Chains A and B, each alone.
Chain A
Amino acid sequence: MATRGATLIRGLKKAATQVTALVALMLAWEAATVLFHISEDKLPALSSVLATAWTGRAALAGAVGTTLFEALIGLFAGIAFGVLSGIAFSSSRLLERMLLPYFIASQAVPIIAFGAIIIIWFGNGVASKAVIAFYLSFFPVAVNTLGGIRRVSKDEIGLLRTFGASRLKILWKLQLPTALPPIFTAIRIGAGLALVGAIVGEWFGASRGLGVVLLTAMFDNQVTQLWAAILATGATGTALFWAVVALQKKIAWWQTEV
C-alpha cells in the first residue's frame, strides 16, 4: 500500500509540474501580446482566442469530430495493413526484397503531390481523407512490425519448435508479442501522421473538418478564429498521442530485448 501511495504522490507531482508549465506558457502568451503590443492580425491575446473558441465551441467540436473520425479510420486501416505487411516481409525474404523498396519509395513522394488525384478517385467525403491518413500511417507500422519480429532470436524460435510449435503458433505466441511494443511506438508516430493526413485531405476538398475551419479562417482573415482552430488541432493531436500511450501501457507494457 505504501508503494501505491508513493506512486500516487509521484504522479501528482508530475501532473503539478506539467500544469505549472502550461499555465506559465499561457501567461507568457497573454503577457507578450500586451507588453510587446503585438497586433491582433499576428498573434491575438490568448484570452480572446479562448473566448472565440468558446463561442464557436459547437462548430469547433464538430470539426474535431469529423477530422478525428477520418484520421482514425485511416489509422486503423494503416495499422492493419502495416502489421500484415510487416508479417509478410518477415516470413519471406523474397517478398521483402520485391516490395519493401516500393514501400520506401511511396514515402519519398510527398502525399501533397497526389492530393488532387485522391479527391478525384475517392470523392469529397470521408474516404479520401482516410486514404491519405492511411497512406501516411501504414509505413512506420510496417517497418516496426518487421523490426520487432526480427528481434526474436533464433534460439527462442528453436525452443518453441522443440515444443512442437507450428509457424503460426511461433508467430502468434512469440513473434507478435515481441513486436508489440515497437508496433505501439509506430502507432504513436502514425497517429500524428494520420491527423496531418486528414487535415491535408480536407484542404484538397471538403465541406467539414478542422482543415476546412483552418482554411476558411485563413481566407477570411479571421486570425483569432485561425488561432482557435490551431489550438483545437493541437489539443486533438495531443489527446490522440496520449490515448495511444495509455493503450500501450495497458496492452504492451513490457520491454522486449533489442
Chain B
Amino acid sequence: MTPKIRLHNVSKSFAVGARSIRTLQNVDLSLKGGDFVTLVGPSGCGKSTLFNILVGLTAPDPGGELFIDGVLQPVDHLLGRVAFMPQRDMLMPWRTVLDNAILAAEIDGVPKAEARRRTLASLDRFGLRGFENHYPDQLSGGMRQRVALMRTFMFERDIMLLDEPFGALDALTRALMQRWLLEVWEGAKRTVLFITHDIDEAIFLGDRVLVMSARPGHIKAELQVPLPRPREPDVLTSPAFVDLKRTLLAAVEDESRKAFAATNLQQLQPGEF
C-alpha cells in the first residue's frame, strides 16, 4: 500500500552567522492512511523544523524528498495540503468560536455560510455546543484547544499535524482531551502525526511512537503500540503499557541527556521558537 505521506532523506541546516547548524539529518518516515503516529524527542531536536517542512513553511535542504500518496511534492506546493495545529491556539480574539472554527475552511474558499453550517453541525462532537457565539477570551484553556482542533478538522485534509496541542493543559483536562481526540479521530479517520513531550500521551494515542534523536534530529527508534482500540483510561496501568513505557523512556532519556549536554555548550536552537 502506498503510504499517505513519506519523507525520504530530509535534512535541514540553518546558517547562524558564519556557521551552519544542522537541525535535521536524513529523516525518513512514512505514515499509512489512517495512521495515528506520535513523535517524541528532546527539546531542540528539530521537531518544529520537521513540521514546518511537512506543512510547506520551510524548504528542506536539496536532496530531501516528500511524497503524498506516492507523488513527489515540490516544496512550494505543500502549503494548503496539510492541516496543521500549532502549539499555541492562535485564536483570533475578534472572532467568535464559530468563526474561529471556520477560519481555515473560509480561507480555503468554502463560502462562509456553508462553512458555518457544517461547523454548527459538528459543535456537539467538539463539546462546544452553546458556546458558538462566545469569544475566545471567555473560554477555558481546554475549550480554546478544542476550538483550535475544530478549526484544524474543518480544514478537511487527509493529513493532520498536531504540535503538542495539549502541552499547556493541566493533567486532568489533558487526559479528557486525549480520549476525546481519539473519539473524534476514529470518527473522521484522518492520518495524524502528533508531537508531544509526554511519553504516556505518546503511547496512549499512537499506533506507533517515533523517537527523535538530539540535534541533528533523525528518527532514532520506532515502537509499535499493539494496544487495542478504542483505548480506555485503564490501559495506562496495564502491564503491556508499562513495558512499552519502560522501553520508550530508556530511548528518550538517552537522547534528552545528549540534548541537555549540547544545550549547555551552546544555547542556539535555530528553527525552534
**Chain A residues engaging chain B, CB cutoff 8 angstroms:** 154-156, 158-165, 169, 173-174, 177, 180, 252, 254-256
Known contacts A155-B273, A158-B57: A163-B92 contact under CB 8 Å: no
- A162 and B80 CA atoms in complex are apart in Å by 5
- Is B129 located at the chain interface by the 8 A CB criterion? no
Among B8-16, B32-40, B67-75, B81-89, the stretch in contact with A:
B81-89
Which residues of A sit under 8 angstroms from B94, Cβ to Cβ?
177, 180, 252, 254
Is the C-beta of B221 less than 8 angstroms from some C-beta in chain A? no
Q: Please, how many angstroms separate the alpha-carbon atoms of A252 and B93 in the complex?
A: 10
Cα distance A252–B137 in the bound complex, in angstroms? 15
Question: Which residue of the partner chain, among A156, A169, A256, contacts B90 with CB atoms under 8 Å?
Answer: A156
Please, which residues of chain B bring their CB within 8 A of the CB of A162? 55-57, 79-80, 82-84
Report the nearest B residue to A157, measured CB to CB.
B57
Complex contacts, A256 vs chain B, CB 8 Å: 93
Contact with A along B153-176 (1 / 0, CB 8 A): 001000000000000000000000
The answer to whether A155 touches B86, judged by C-beta atoms less than 8 angstroms apart, is: yes
Closest Cβ of chain B to A165, distance in Å, is 5
Residues of A close to B88: CB separation below 8 A: 155
* 1/0 contact string of B122-142 vs chain A (CB within 8 Å): 000000000000010100000
A164 and B273 contact, CB distance less than 8 A: no
Task: Indicate the member of A154, A158, A163, A180 with the most B CB atoms within 10 Å.
Answer: A163
Q: In whole Å, how far is B151's beta carbon from the nearest beta carbon of chain A?
A: 9
Please report the C-alpha to C-alpha distance between residue A252 and residue B92 in the assembled complex, in whole angstroms: 13
Question: Which residues of the partner chain A approach B93 to less than 8 Å between Cβ atoms?
Answer: 254-256
Inside 8 A of B84's CB, which chain A residues have their CB?
A: 159, 162
Binary contact track B31-53/A, C-beta < 8 Å → 1, others 0 = 00000000000000000000010
- Interface stretch, picked from B19-27, B103-111, B187-195, is B103-111
Chain A to chain B: the 8 pairs with minimum beta-carbon distance, closest first = A164-B80, A254-B93, A163-B104, A163-B107, A162-B84, A162-B55, A165-B107, A254-B94
Q: Which residue of the partner chain A has the closest CB to B78?
A: A162
- Least CB distance, B237 to chain A, in whole angstroms: 37
Also in contact, A169 and B273, with CB within 8 A (given A158-B57, A177-B94): no
Partner of A173, one of B52, B80, B107, B155: B107
Residue from the set B84, B93, B106 with the largest chain A CB neighbour count within 10 Å: B93
User: Closest CB-CB distance, B56 to chain A, in whole Å?
Assistant: 7
How near does chain B come to A55, taking the closest CB pair, in angstroms? 49
- Contact status of A161 and B79, CB under 8 A, knowing A155-B273, A173-B103: yes
- Whether the Cβ atoms of A169 and B86 lie closer than 8 Å is no
Minimum CB distance partner of B80 in chain A? A164
* Interface contact A177-B92, CB-CB below 8 Å: yes
Starting from the known contacts A161-B57, A174-B92, 15 additional A-B residue pairs (CB-CB under 8 Å) come to A158-B86, A159-B86, A159-B90, A160-B107, A162-B56, A162-B79, A162-B83, A163-B103, A163-B155, A164-B80, A164-B107, A164-B108, A173-B106, A177-B92, A254-B137
Known: A161-B79, A162-B57. A155 touches B90 (CB 8 A): yes
Name the residue in A158, A165, A174, A254 with the highest tally of chain B Cβ atoms < 10 Å from its Cβ: A158
| Chain A nearest CB, measured from B191 CB (Å) | 16
Q: What is the distance, in angstroms, from B59's C-beta to the closest C-beta of chain A?
A: 13
Taking the closest CB of chain B, its distance from the CB of A75, in whole angstroms, is 24
Closest CB in chain A relative to B13 CB, distance in Å: 20
Complexed CA–CA distance, A169 and B104 (Å): 11
Shortest Cβ gap from B41 to chain A (Å): 20
A160 contact set on B, CB distance < 8 A: 107
